[in-house]
Amino acid sequence: MTAPQATKSAPRKRPAPKIREGLPAPNTPEGELFHYTPFEAAPWTPFGGRKLMEMIRLREIEFVSNGRDNYLTGRQIAALNERYIVKPFSKAERAAA
């Protein structure tokens, strides 16, 4: 008598995130208070959509929640970009003797 073989089911694929068209840029007056999903905000940030979702889940960045979905406003996207800007190093000038 042989043991029954375990069957492998095909991995479930998640549906692609829906991204609306014709979104205003976050740095425009229309986009300043517009609510972007993490995947819609990703092109304007140094992170991908999944990373933004993870940062929201861990409460590492500010976001807007309506109880079910999480969004980023244009202001929050701009603040996120400012937070991760690397400024060039400048040498200190020598003091005159």
pLDDT at 37: 95
Q: Residue 65 carries which side chain, given as an amino acid letter?
A: S
On whether residue 8 sits in a domain, the answer given is: no
- In the chain, pLDDT over 90 holds for what percent of residues? 62
- Give me the domain span that covers residue 47: 35-83
pLDDT at 45: 94
Give the span between the Cα atoms of 26 and 30, in whole angstroms: 8
pLDDT digits over 81-93, tens only?
999 888 888 877 7
pLDDT digits over 55-81, tens only?
999 999 999 999 899 999 999 999 999
8 phi/psi in degrees, rounded to 5 = -100, 130
Q: Give the DSSP letter of residue 19.
A: -
Three-class SS string for 31-66?
CCCCEECHHHHHHHCCCCHHHHHHHHHCCCCCCEEC
On whether residue 13 sits in a domain, the answer given is: no
On whether residue 53 sits in a domain, the answer given is: yes
Band of residue 22 on the pLDDT scale cut at 50, 70, 90? very high
pTM: 0.74
